[in-house]
């Protein structure tokens, strides 16, 4: 039609109904194995998810990976813990600082991004997020859970 407006730049994306990793094979296998290892680090309550452009387009700049933790576990990893006092013959009183330590969060995110990039050969952008805030940050956006494979190749299993 001659009077139709040109499509908006975001209209070039595949339909939202069919998101999924566009990393291809064998990259998705390496990504799944790495995400499995990430879940072993952060525990069974963690959700490791792909988000962003790699769900829609094979021409992605990087692979965005978020690890979503419950609030108390997120605080454990990201806040300073201070020993207030050590009562005689008792347990220390430990309190968490009110605000997260940005250096700690940045260090965790950078370390896991570099580890993921090294293991998978993909450019990984890793972020640790609190489940309570991730609900709002990713509301209406697609997520693809990874790292739920039962026995990844190359990951040693404990015999205990």
Q: What is the pLDDT of residues 23-55, one digit of tens each?
A: 778 888 999 999 999 999 999 899 999 998 888
- Give the DSSP H/E element, type plus range, for residue 51: strand 47-51
102-156: pLDDT as tens digits: 788 889 999 999 999 999 999 999 999 999 888 878 777 888 899 987 665 555 5
Q: Which of 16, 2, 31, 6 is nearest to 152 (CA)?
A: 31
pLDDT in tens, 61-93: 999 999 999 988 988 888 766 666 666 666 655
11 pLDDT exceeds 80? Answer: no
pTM of the model: 0.72
Residue 159 has pLDDT above 50, yes or no: no
Pairing assessment for the beta strands 124-130 and 93-96 based on DSSP bridges: unpaired
């Amino acid at each position: 039609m001659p009077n139709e407006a040109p499509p908006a730049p975001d209209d070039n994306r595949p339909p939202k109904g069919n998101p999924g990793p566009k990393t291809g094979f064998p990259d998705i296998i390496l990504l799944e194995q790495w995400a499995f290892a990430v879940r072993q680090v952060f525990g069974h309550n963690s959700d490791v998810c792909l988000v962003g452009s790699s769900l829609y387009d094979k021409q992605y700049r990087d692979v965005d990976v978020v690890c979503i933790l419950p609030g108390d576990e997120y605080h454990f990893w990201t806040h300073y813990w201070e020993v207030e006092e050590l009562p005689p013959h008792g347990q220390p009183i430990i309190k968490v600082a009110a605000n997260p330590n940005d250096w700690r969060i940045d260090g965790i995110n950078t370390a896991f991004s570099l580890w993921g990039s090294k293991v998978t050969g993909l450019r990984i952008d890793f972020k640790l997020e609190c489940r309570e805030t991730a609900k709002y940050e990713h509301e209406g956006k697609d997520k693809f859970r990874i790292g739920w494979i039962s026995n990844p190749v190359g990951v040693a299993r404990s015999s205990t």
